[in-house]
Structure 1
Amino acid sequence: MAGEIPVPETMAAMVLTGHGGVDKLQYRTDVPTPRPGPGEVLVRVTATAKNNTDRKAREGLYPVKDKGDTVSFQVGGAPTFTFPRIQGADVAGRVAAVGEGVDPARVGERGLLDFNIYADSRRDINLTPDYYGHGADGGFAEYVAVPSDQFHAVDNPDLADAELAAMGMCSYQTALHMLTAAGVTAGERVLVTGASGGVGTALIQLCRILGAIPYALSQQDKAEALLELGAEAVLDRSQMEDFEARVRAVTGDKPIDAVMDLAGGEMTDRFIDTMIFDMKARSTYPRLSIAGASAGNVSEIMWTRVYLYQVQIFGVSHGTREEAEQLIAWIRSGQLRPVLHGAFRLSELHDAEQYFVDRGSNYLGKIVIVPDSQWPTHGAPFAVRT
């Protein structure tokens, strides 16, 4: 390998041994350190953002046929989420070594991973999405080997590594793909559900970059922070009665142009209501992008409402190479800012998982996981106080 610096033979990692609870996550210090193959870089991990998909994949909550199945998604047709597996998609760190064909000058470079495992080289479409931490080992470890062209240099001195990880592609690229799939443009009114989470806070920022107007659905104790982030108004998700009327009150009686739905369940029908109450006032079709089902995996919708009102529905999983590169450009330019809640040590991932499930009113943004060996520099300044 060209450009290698000393790398230990073994490393610490949190290893997932099967579907189930946090007991299936085992902290080990004797995991063989990966080596970069041709076209790859070995990244010394300094921070990896935690995503809800980590928990859902671990618990097997991605059924696509029988809603009672305990499975992970197999969009490519064959299972890739095999055990043992190291999870963690949104990886920030430093290049520690390079494989054949990669410029040795990249050693020491700080960057952020485009988390996708792409099926081919197409830049504008991603039909069989998979990702690091699912179809290949990810960042809940001290080292990870990834394609060199997907580890993007970000040297902004004002961004700590934990903050950079909090801007990872899993949330931001999903958010951007939700907006681009629905063709959201400047001036349009966009309803963002689940607005206080990683995808929701990304959507608010991205709407403002695109010139769209985001309306957030969240708990009211998050309202001040979401307004500061760029939300035009914050609607209380604990009061869904007369939801259409409350939306009309904040939009000046104008319909929502597009809904970015992370909730699903019985709320989907109410979200559609906010787009179709005055079709004469619209200049585009009503659009619903859905990339989550936190409120339920099954929605009951009258299809007559969908086709008579010409509601366009976009299912969104992961984004494309083009979108990842656009996001990196916005991060480098400072147009996107991190929403970091705090950090946990890698050895404390069980506690981080429980904290995420029990998160209270002070929770906004992302939790990052920092290897214990990197904790004093990259984790301690952002430690979550429990």
Structure 2
Amino acid sequence: MTAVHLVGHGGLDKLVVRNDVAVCQPGPGEVLVNVTAAGMNNTDINTRTGWYNKQVSSGTTAEGGKSGFGVAEKGMGDWEGGLTFPRIQGADAVGYIVAVGKGVDASRIGERVVCDPYIRDPEDVEGFDSAGFLGSEHDGAFAQFTTVPSVNAVSIPKDFPLSDAALATLPCSGGTAMNMLSMAGAKAGDLAVVTGASGGVGTFLVQILKALGATAIAVAGKSKIADVSKLGADHVIDRETPDLVSAVLEITGGRNLSLVADVVGGDQFPDLLKLLRRGGRYVTAGAIGGPKVDLDLRTLYLKNLSLFGSTVYLRDTFPRLIDLVVSGRIKPFSTKSWPLDQIHAAQSEFFEKKHVGSLVLLPPKVEA
């Protein structure tokens, strides 16, 4: 099959397109998925570049994405899983089940599926200790075929009107947004700010908050304000606004926020905490603006704040996300698709952050 091998931490040269990779076979309890679309996301790129290593202190820059961060090992940082090379990356798998392993009902063959990227021991109730990630501990979607546990392959109606490319934005970007808001207890009536609102995760954060009945104040680049507004954001603030606190408080009439959903981090972190009311919640799943932040512990405890870090999905995160999509309450925002063998060009465009929503890779079609 055609697949992309990650052969080490580093730049785009570490992604090698091959056409002679053996087709994987489903083990007990697994299904074989013919991948028809694979989303691109920061997680796969950060893994390749070694950005999770604690020695890296910058944000996720375009230059770092193209050339890497000079990390040869320990590129997964505090993520406790194991990464061996070569590895087929790709957390976002959509396609059709074409074979099943022992113990899986053969009637599943032919199902259209979107795959939950977190693979874990069913006996692990929380799922944190045993969690592995598709494209990290397990070969993923940057290939014509991949295998996942049957429980991870979630059926989508074949006549569901969204394209496979649109569905491929769900596993990582959509799941990350859903998990962030689940962990932080997002609910109707919340007054929330979303940073990085034009990105893959941000576009889902805005939509999910609105679906839950919250007020969403989005922060995005000036050229993307119109598109983010179309997603349903109540207000959109230019990210270059010199005084974010004043801009938000002007919108809210002086009221502080109950929730901040942040994927940027960096220098604006203290202002985001300043905006929270007493008892407010802050949740993050990224740091594209920089991982090192200034935290005054007095702000944290005097305001009774709760801070949440989100990576491994809660058990109900993915089902909740799929329900919102199938019911039509949120809609994936896929901007452009690329052939899988053009992954270098596709990721180069991804780094530039000029798009809204997600970019998607399309493996070669499999002849019947």
TM-based fold match above 0.5: yes
CA deviation after TM superposition for structure 1 residue 164, in Å: 1.1
SS at match of 2:308: strand
8 Å Cα contact 2:206/2:216 also seen in 1: yes
What percent of counterpart residues are identical? 37
Does 1:346 find its partner at 2:336? Answer: no
**C-alpha distance in structure 2 between counterparts of 1:273 and 1:118, whole Å:** 37
* Correspondent of 2:320 among 310, 319, 326: 326
Counterpart residue number, 1:252:
253
Counterpart residue number, 2:66:
none
What RMSD, in angstroms, separates the aligned Cα atoms of the two structures? 1.9
What whole-Å deviation, never above 9, does each CA across 1:70-97 have from its counterpart, x for those lacking one? Answer: 33336574x5111000000110000010
* Correspondent of 1:220 among 219, 222, 225: 222
The one-letter amino acid of 1:41's match is V
8 Å Cα contact 1:114/1:152 also seen in 2: yes
User: How does 1:1-386 map onto structure 2 within 5 Å?
Assistant: 11-64=1-54, 70=71, 71-73=74-76, 77=80, 79-122=81-124, 124-127=126-129, 129-155=131-157, 156-166=159-169, 168-239=170-241, 241-276=242-277, 279=278, 285-360=279-354, 363-373=355-365
8 Å Cα contact 1:124/1:322 also seen in 2: no
State the TM-score, normalized to the length of structure 1. Answer: 0.87
- TM-aligned CA distance change 1:65 to 1:51, over 3 Å: same
CA deviation after TM superposition for structure 1 residue 158, in Å: 0.8
State the TM-score, normalized to the length of structure 2. Answer: 0.91
What whole-Å deviation, never above 9, does each CA across 1:101-154 have from its counterpart, x for those lacking one? Answer: 111111111010000022444455535543100111000000001101110010
**C-alpha distance in structure 1 between counterparts of 2:19 and 2:125, whole Å:** 38
Unaligned stretches of 5+ in structure 2? 58-68
Deviating beyond 6 angstroms after TM superposition, the runs of 4 or more aligned structure 1 residues are none
**C-alpha distance in structure 2 between counterparts of 1:19 and 1:354, whole Å:** 16
8 Å Cα contact 2:124/2:130 also seen in 1: no
The one-letter amino acid of 1:22's match is L
Which deviates the most, 264-273 or 169-178? Answer: 169-178
CA deviation after TM superposition for structure 1 residue 367, in Å: 0.6
CA deviation after TM superposition for structure 1 residue 318, in Å: 2.4
8 Å Cα contact 1:75/1:129 also seen in 2: no
- TM-aligned CA distance change 1:223 to 1:265, over 3 Å: same
SS at match of 1:145: strand
8 Å Cα contact 2:35/2:93 also seen in 1: yes
